[in-house]
């Protein structure tokens, strides 16, 4: 059985616009909320953001930026609207968006997408997924499904092969809030934002 795309990539590109850099030049928790419902496009795959976590910078002990500027974290202290992609557990890559004005570190971890375009391509990349809801229901899953790797670390989100777009018609939705997942520091901070009742989030709460 094939998994048809809800919408074509051509239609998404035609009916949407790329989020401008100033969108990201705000506090990470504000940007994280604003990203819900927006669309990540990479190549001919696309998915709507349904779950995101905010990381607040040097004062946030759960954030990579709390260690200061290193070769790994330098992109976090750079201009906003760029991708920060890193490896965890030696095998999974995670997609983050840099927020805050240049010089102030902050980012948003994209935790789950609702697949829109390229579902069969995603399925080939993630053969363990048993239904569309499982394709992008976690930060490591969505990068595999979308073909996003560390080669995109530092890439701009406003042009090129990886963009974030806004398209009307998604309707209103309720934003739910919870503590972040799988962090030991600042574990009670309510910085995980997700579309309430959405079947594609990584964890129901």
* pLDDT tens digits, one per residue of 125-168: 999 999 999 999 999 999 999 999 999 999 999 999 999 999 98
For residue 37, give the nearest of 118, 112, 140 by alpha carbon.
Answer: 112
For residue 45, give the nearest of 101, 97, 5, 93 by alpha carbon.
Answer: 5
Q: Is the pLDDT of residue 69 over 80?
A: yes
Q: Please name the helix (run of DSSP H) or strand (run of DSSP E) that holds residue 143, with its range, or none.
A: helix 139-146
Question: Where are the extended beta strands (E) located within 22-133?
Answer: 39-42, 45-55, 83-88, 92-98, 107-117
Q: How far apart are CA 117 and CA 8, in angstroms?
A: 6
Domain map (residue ranges) of the chain: 9-195
Fold exhibited by the domain 9-195? 3-methyladenine DNA Glycosylase; Chain A (3.10.300)
Please give the pLDDT value at position 204: 66
For residue 36, give the nearest of 102, 97, 126, 125 by alpha carbon.
Answer: 97
Q: Residue 10 gets which letter from DSSP?
A: H
Using a CB cutoff of 8 Å and minimum separation of 24, what contacts does 128-136 make? Answer: 132/3, 132/200, 133/199, 133/200, 136/47, 136/112, 136/200
Average pLDDT over residues 84-111: 94
* pLDDT tens digits, one per residue of 172-191: 899 999 999 999 999 999 99
Please give the pLDDT value at position 199: 96
């Amino acid at each position: 059985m094939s998994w048809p795309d809800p919408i074509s990539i051509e239609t998404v590109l035609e009916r949407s616009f790329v989020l401008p850099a100033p969108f990201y030049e705000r506090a990470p928790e504000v940007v994280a909320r604003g990203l819900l419902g927006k669309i990540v496009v990479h190549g001919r795959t696309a998915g709507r953001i349904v779950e995101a976590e905010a990381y607040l910078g040097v004062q946030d002990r759960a954030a990579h930026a709390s260690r200061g500027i290193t070769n790994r974290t330098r992109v976090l202290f750079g201009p906003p609207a760029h991708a920060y992609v890193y490896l965890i557990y030696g095998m999974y890559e995670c997609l983050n968006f840099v927020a805050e004005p240049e010089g102030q570190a902050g980012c948003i971890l994209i935790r789950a997408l609702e697949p829109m375009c390229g579902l069969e391509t995603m399925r080939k990349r993630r053969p363990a997924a048993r239904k569309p809801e499982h394709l992008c229901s976690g930060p490591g899953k969505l990068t595999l499904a979308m073909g996003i790797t560390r080669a995109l670390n530092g890439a701009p989100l406003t042009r090129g092969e990886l963009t974030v777009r806004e398209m009307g018609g998604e309707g209103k939705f309720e934003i739910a809030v919870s503590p972040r997942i799988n962090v030991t520091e600042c574990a009670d901070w309510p910085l995980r934002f997700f579309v309430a009742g959405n079947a594609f989030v990584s964890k129901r709460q």
